[in-house]
Structure formats: C-alpha cells, structure tokens
A and B are shown apart, each in its own frame.
Chain A
C-alpha cells in the first residue's frame, strides 16, 4: 500500500506540473481541468480515501465492536455494489427518506452503537467526518458507471422531491440567492466556473453524477453533504445541519432529475 500511494502521489505531482505549468491564457479553466482529469483518470486521489473506507467498513468499531458489513444501504444488508445509484430512498426501519451519509449514520448507530450527534457536530475533514468521507468514497466508487436510478414511487419519496424542488427555488438571505440563482439556467458561469443547470436532466447528471468528488483546489475529498454545505455558505444562508431534511430533499431533487445519467463518482473537481 505504501509504494502504491507514493507512486500515485508522484504521478499526481508530475501531472499537476504539466497541466498547470503550461496553462495558457487562451485556454479555459474547463479545458485544463478536463485535461487534468484525463491524465489522472487511473489515479484519482479519492482512491486513497476509498482504500481507507473499505478498511473502515470491515473493521469492528464503536461500543458494539461491530463492522458495517451488514449495513442496508437500500439493496439489502451488506450490498455495496450499485447502492449509491438508488439513493436517496425511503427506508422502512427509520420511516425516512435518506441519502448516503444519513443512512450510514443510521448503520453506525444501530450496528456499532455510535451516536449520530457526534458525527453531525464534527467539523468537515476531521475526526468522525473524516471516517465518514472515507466510507462514502468506498461506497460511491462501487456505483461508478451505473445509471442513476432514483425512485419517487413511495409517497414519502415524492414528498421529499417536491420539498426539494421548493427548496431549490427558495430565495433568501442578504444576497437574495437561491440554488436557482446559479443553477437554474443553461450555459452560465461564475467567473470561469461552469454551472450545471440542475433543473434539466443533462445538467443534473453533471452535478449529481460527479459528486462526491476529490477537489483539486483544496486537496480534499468532498461528500455531497459538504458540497451542499459550501453552496449554502456562498448563498449567504445559515449553516445547513449535516444530514438534515433540506439537504436530503435537495439531493432527491437533483438525483431524480438526473435519472438515467451515468454515475462518475468519485469525481474530480476544480
């Protein structure tokens, strides 16, 4: 494992040098990133998270000293392959619609005896959230290439979708921003950053299908929960609580709109 990761780092650094070292002003940032993505397609740094996530999945932990291997992510206990492609979905045992992160918290609580509050309150990228990031990376890697296939057949799923749609257009705060301010029209940019139109199937597939992702600019792996959190920060909203219904509703809205698109997670982002 050590030589593999060293090799990965070395190839990463050299490809970073090549791409950004030669970047010309005529090129758009999107071109640069596409090129960069291509070059390290076989070595997304998210792989390091994925490897440690697989270990965490199989390692006994918590007061109950149990693994997560019996966790039901929606396709039955222990089924990881393709699980992220059908989330968010309704779960009978919690009587809630859950996304990947909130479902994992349920499993950690029930199987391992780890209370969710500590995970919810932790800062992004450290402690229990860092473990969560790794497990998320492991799960979503096992849906790469699968078709997004989210259901709104259950009344609670339909209800969540409708609330997500309403939340998407909910304009507030000192800047009057909603999600739609940036993601409600096609071919728009903030500075040079392309903005997917999340109200269309194509755009939603680009957004939902590429997160969670490794962010080159921050050198971090970001789950969808963290992506949404930073959107709300820039919207000048208050802080969305980790795993709260508004985050799940918006995920439901994006995922359902994206249905049929191909999952590319873990993505690679600016």
Chain B
C-alpha cells in the first residue's frame, strides 16, 4: 500500500513537472537573452562619427524590451510593459513655470523640421520635432506621414481641461509613459526638445487660435 502511494505520488509529481514544462514552452516567453555573438557583431560593425558616438548603441531597459517584439507582445511582456511605462512616467517633469501652452507659430516650425542629431549635424544644429514625418497636423500641410495618428483638430476634439493638458504634455515629453513601445521619440528624456519648444508644440495642438483647431 505504502509503495503504491509512493509510486502514485511520484507519478503525480512527474506529471506536474511535465505539465509545467509544457506550459512554459507553449505560453511563457522570457525576454530574449543577451547573445554574445550578436553583441560582438554590433560592437565591431559601427564606428563613432561626429556627434554620433558608439554609446548610441548601448540600450536602456525600454530599448531592450522593445527590440524583442515576440516577448513584448506576449502575456508576460504585457506585465513588463507596465513596468517600463512606470519608469518612463517617473522621468517626466511638469513645466517649471506652470505654463503648458506657448506659441503655436513656433510649434509649427518645430513640427516641420525633421533635422538634427545625425552624424552630419553638429551639436548646435537645432533638433526638430519631426512631427509631420509621422502625423497629419495642420491640414494645409499635405506632406505628412502616417506612422502616428492624425492630430488635426486635436484641441477642438478634446478641449483643454487640466487632464488633457497634462496628458498631452506627458505624451510629448515621453510617449513611452503610456505605450512602452510607442514609435515616438522621448523628446524630453533625450533632451531633443527643451521646455519652451514643448510648450510651443502644445500650443499648436491645443490653442484655439492654432490652425490645427479651425
């Protein structure tokens, strides 16, 4: 009797082990492991040029996570995405002068320019927002991309409550606070745009006088 019980217990545990191994192989992805061979290839394949140093291929946690679409789109990845969003949310500073909205004309110029931060630019080349590269904004500009959503009538549709202001501010500052693998650059985090420039972009989207809201 004792032997039988032991045998069945053993059987039960081995069954359990087998099941969890199966579950792991079917459902649970882990983030891809560092691959020394890949890292060596990356290290040996680039050189610094102008302002584009080799440190630009050192990834932070967000970039590592988003380089692995199989994991980031999995169930386990969804939990990790929230963690990544929290890290990014924590980097956002609200405007130091309490002002969210600047001048929409300045904002339009920043939205138009896709320049800056390449190895053919200098450290003093102003970095553009490159917004029209991916978004429709003012309908008068017909040369716009479609990687991001249309922003036409952004303020007209949403109003300018404090909630909308803060959300929009945060999204321009660090889009990854809301969507871990958003395609949008983290403009404040990497100091691509300063506070005044972001205030101007806010005006382009939210000022009732802005052409975007006509």
Contact A238 B120 (CB under 8 A): no
Contact assessment for B45 and A247 in the assembled complex, using a CB-CB cutoff below 8 Å: yes
A188 and B146 in contact, given A171-B66, A172-B59, A237-B57 (Cβ under 8 angstroms): yes
Question: Which of A45-53, A129-137, A189-197, A208-216 has 4 or more CB atoms under 8 Å from chain B?
Answer: A189-197
Q: Is the Cβ of B41 less than 8 Å from the Cβ of A171?
A: no
For window 154-197 of chain A, which residues contact chain B by CB distance below 8 Å? Answer: 159, 163, 166-167, 169-178, 180-182, 184-185, 187-193
Chain B residue nearest to A185 in the complex (CB): B147
* Min CB gap B175→A, angstroms: 9
B67 touching A244, Cβ below 8 Å: no
A180 to B82, CA, bound (A): 22
Q: Does A233 contact B (CB under 8 A)?
A: yes
A246 with B53, Cβ < 8 A, contacts A188-B147, A189-B145 known = no
Q: Decide: B119 and A233 in contact? CB cutoff 8 A.
A: yes
In the complex, whether A87 has a CB less than 8 A from a CB of chain B is no
Q: Do B68 and A238 touch (CB < 8 A)? A: no
Whether a CB of chain B sits under 8 angstroms from the CB of A241 is: yes
Contact with A along B154-185 (1 / 0, CB 8 A): 00000000000000000000001000000101
Number of A-B contacts (CB under 8 A): 122
Say if the beta carbon of A240 comes within 8 Å of chain B.
yes
B49 at the interface (CB under 8 A from A): yes
Whether the pair A178, B134 counts as a contact (CB closer than 8 A) is no
B37 contact set on A, CB distance < 8 A: 159, 163
Query: B40-61 interface mask toward A, CB cutoff 8 Å, 1 = contact, 0 = none?
Result: 0110111111001110111100
Give residues of chain B (7-62) contacting chain A, Cβ–Cβ below 8 Å.
Answer: 32, 35, 37-38, 41-42, 44-49, 52-54, 56-59, 62
Closest to B47 in A: A239
Nearest Cβ in chain B — how far from A91, in angstroms?
18
Asked whether, in the complex, the Cβ of B44 is within 8 Å of the Cβ of A244, the reply is yes
Asked whether, in the complex, the Cβ of B147 is within 8 Å of the Cβ of A172, the reply is no
Interface pair A163/B67, CB less than 8 Å apart: no
Q: List A contacts of B147 (CB < 8 A).
A: 181-182, 185, 188-190
What are 29 residue pairs bridging A and B, where the CB atoms are less than 8 Å apart in the complex?
A163-B37, A163-B41, A166-B38, A167-B38, A169-B68, A169-B69, A172-B58, A172-B59, A172-B67, A173-B56, A173-B57, A176-B183, A178-B66, A181-B147, A181-B183, A191-B133, A191-B143, A233-B119, A234-B118, A236-B117, A236-B118, A237-B46, A237-B52, A239-B46, A239-B48, A239-B49, A239-B119, A241-B47, A246-B41
Within 8 A of B (CB), among A239-268: 239-241, 244-247, 249
A240 to chain B, nearest CB (A): 6
If A236-B117, A241-B46 touch, whether A174 touches B145 (CB-CB below 8 Å) is no
Binding site for A on B (CB under 8 A): 32, 35, 37-38, 41-42, 44-49, 52-54, 56-59, 62-63, 66-69, 117-120, 132-134, 142-147, 176, 183, 185-186, 190, 192
CA distance A240 to B54 in the complex (A): 10
Contact A246 B67 (CB under 8 A): no
A163 to B146, CA, bound (A): 29
Decide yes or no: A171 and B134 within 8 Å by CB, A233-B119, A245-B44 being known contacts.
no
Contact present for B45 and A174 (CB under 8 Å): no
Q: Looking at the complex, which one of B38, B49, B134 makes contact with A163 (CB distance below 8 Å)?
A: B38
Smallest CB separation, B47 vs chain A (Å): 5
Given contacts A166-B38, A171-B63, A180-B69, contact A236 B46 (CB under 8 A): no
Residue of B nearest to A243 (CB): B45
A188-B146, A190-B133 as given contacts; A239 in contact with B38, CB under 8 Å: no
Q: Do A249 and B41 have beta carbons less than 8 Å apart?
A: yes
The CA-CA distance from A240 to B142 in the complex, in Å, is 34
Q: Report the bound CA distance from A238 to B63 in whole Å.
A: 16
Query: A175's contact among B120, B142, B144, B185, by CB below 8 Å, is which?
Result: B185
Q: Is the CB of B52 within 8 A of A176?
A: no
Contact B118 A240, beta carbon cutoff 8 Å: no
Q: In the complex, are the beta carbons of A238 and B183 less than 8 A apart?
A: no
* Chain B neighbourhood of A187, CB < 8 A: 146
For the complex, what is the distance from the CA of A193 to the CA of B147, rounded to whole Å? 12
Contact of A236 with B52 in the complex, beta carbons under 8 Å: yes
A247 vs B186: C-alpha distance when bound (angstroms): 27
Add 17 more A-B contacts to A166-B35, A178-B66, A245-B44 (CB < 8 A): A25-B142, A159-B37, A167-B42, A170-B67, A173-B56, A174-B117, A175-B185, A176-B63, A176-B185, A182-B147, A184-B69, A188-B146, A191-B144, A238-B48, A238-B57, A239-B46, A247-B45
